Structure 1
């Protein structure tokens, strides 16, 4: 039986609630296509820090309200800044970088559910920093920075090539094609395409199933995946060995092994 959800952040540009280990982090500026201005980025950082500080959080489900998941930086706000634009963008970029880093270093895996546009360093950056991504058939992906004479941020110059390969990343970052959900799937940018009507339910079901896993093992696996990108196989294997040995000291490993022998579902409690 599912427990009652607990509202952790109930108002503002980013909402957060927790139920059965799944923290639902919701971008809440649908009227602005969830564009990321400084207040929104501050709210996002606050929500991610809440997830970092709560051991009950086993999975984060990232969603965006309205038609679009996230249209990137709030262009309308940018245009109001005039000569102050460089300083405003510098502050916004620092906050976005902090949010991306928080997602990557979060112990809990991040599952994203994307509908409509995921654009710019904000939208694409969040997609590339998530661990698992579901996209609705309506979803479209656009890097967009060079289209407005800017350059990639939010780690896209590293995360996007990691996902789709350097040649595809160069094309997406330099030419700014609008990439459909089916194209994104073929490129390896996302994990699955579902109908718009099914998106939230499918992503939530996946997050709930993932939340039943062993938290320490999931966190360690996520860390190995992210840190192994630049290590190479020979350097990564000793770290894998140390990680597995450390996990074997936990009760969750004993529970997992016992559950296999007893042919039942494991009940993981965490480190």
Structure 2
């Protein structure tokens, strides 16, 4: 993660030097007098247009050959090079607006010797994910040509952008931590056997969004505190709901839960779940979206939906037939309870381990996966996810595209060389 103090931002920009020639003869124009005044006014217009979302003014002040260079290490892979006004507006400023309510507030305008205008200030606002406060210093370096802005180089305190997504906690029923690229999610309603209520559904959605936003995340482990991984939906909530309101309550609760499961399933990293005690109802969804599902000896698995007169959630109707087959899926829906050994035999989980070694074994697996070719894992997850809905020609074409993308990675180039040299590669996820 990139983390710049204000002084180091300015030092870095000064050291970077010119990045684009803007004059026809290849030299950089140095503005003087009235030209500088007009350029400062143009810069002020830029920040006002961004604050008000005025697309017409942005189109008027950005040069057709505009290029934006933004800070590496920002969340959601926002750092990089954007060619053209449309790309900058849509893929950078537009995506910032999707994840933050942020405003760039300039405080100082200084001309540099090479003809660029250095604008320093702060980004302020809040994150839509995590709801933390954003307060990050920035320096923008602007280049002008033909009365328009032709280049913007941005450096900012990217750590503050990440912190806004993950405030001190904000989570009430789950625990979430990230160490050395490995995220650990712990369901934490042990007295309720990690039953899923509205708060837990919201927390899981929050964590899923945080995982999607984290740069450098390489693997996720899902576990549960207390005597059970999760018994599924919180029946006490259903019992306390008036019969006429139950439909609305279920829809409100399951919607963020399902969105969390969707995000977990689509993360470009391997996901490992380690379950114990019992796994029931919609809580099975956290097992379904895992690439590796480990269970402690003696763990019980049941859908339990029909006991409550409900049709089910957690992606069960999609995943179960694919994992265990239609007939067995029907059997589970109609009340069959599996122990851990049966769950493995049926294909619901990957392996059964001693209860005392569950977390140790799971952490070892997730660490090994995190050290692997995560770009390749991401492509594999996508291919397997789309296989059932694709024709063979479509899947063959998708494999070619994925193979080409992974073949262009540093990890693949290094792995080929080390394979020939009979040594072990060090994968970096790039």
In structure 2, how many angstroms separate the alpha carbons of the residues matched to 1:202 and 1:161? 28
Residue aligning to 1:107: 268
Matched, 1:34 2:188: no
1:10–1:22: structure 2 CA closer, same or farther, 3 Å change rule? farther
In structure 1, how many angstroms separate the alpha carbons of the residues matched to 2:240 and 2:169? 29
Instruction: State the superposition RMSD in angstroms.
Output: 1.6
**TM-score of the two chains, using structure 2 as the length reference:** 0.59
Structure 1 residue 235, shift from structure 2 partner: 2.4
Structure 1 residue 239, shift from structure 2 partner: 0.4
Residue aligning to 1:151: 311
Residue aligning to 1:12: 172
Residue aligning to 1:49: 209
1:31–1:216: structure 2 CA closer, same or farther, 3 Å change rule? same
Local SS of the residue matching 1:236: helix
Higher strand share: 2
Higher RCO, 1 vs 2 (CA within 8 Å, ≥6 residues apart): 1
- Which stretch of structure 1 is more off in the superposition, 147-156 or 230-239? 230-239
Local SS of the residue matching 1:198: helix
Matched, 1:63 2:197: no
Structure 1 residue 264, shift from structure 2 partner: 2.1
In structure 1, how many angstroms separate the alpha carbons of the residues matched to 2:383 and 2:169? 31
2:321 to 161, 164, 181: 161
Aligned length: 264
Residue aligning to 2:247: 86
**TM-score of the two chains, using structure 1 as the length reference:** 0.93
Structure 1 residue 96, shift from structure 2 partner: 1.6
In structure 1, how many angstroms separate the alpha carbons of the residues matched to 2:263 and 2:168? 18
Residue aligning to 2:257: 96
Runs of 4 or more off by more than 3 Å in structure 1? 6-11
In structure 2, how many angstroms separate the alpha carbons of the residues matched to 1:199 and 1:7? 30
Cα offsets for 1:129-173 (capped at 9, x unmatched): 211100000211001111111002121111011000111001111
Residues 8, 18 of structure 1: 8 Å contact kept? no
Cα offsets for 1:89-118 (capped at 9, x unmatched): 111111121011111111111100010111
Structure 1 residue 10, shift from structure 2 partner: 8.0
Structure 1 residue 9, shift from structure 2 partner: 4.5
Structure 2 unaligned residues grouped into runs of 5+: 1-165
1:181 to 324, 340, 347: 340
Kindly name which structure, 1 or 2, has the bigger radius of gyration based on alpha carbons.
2
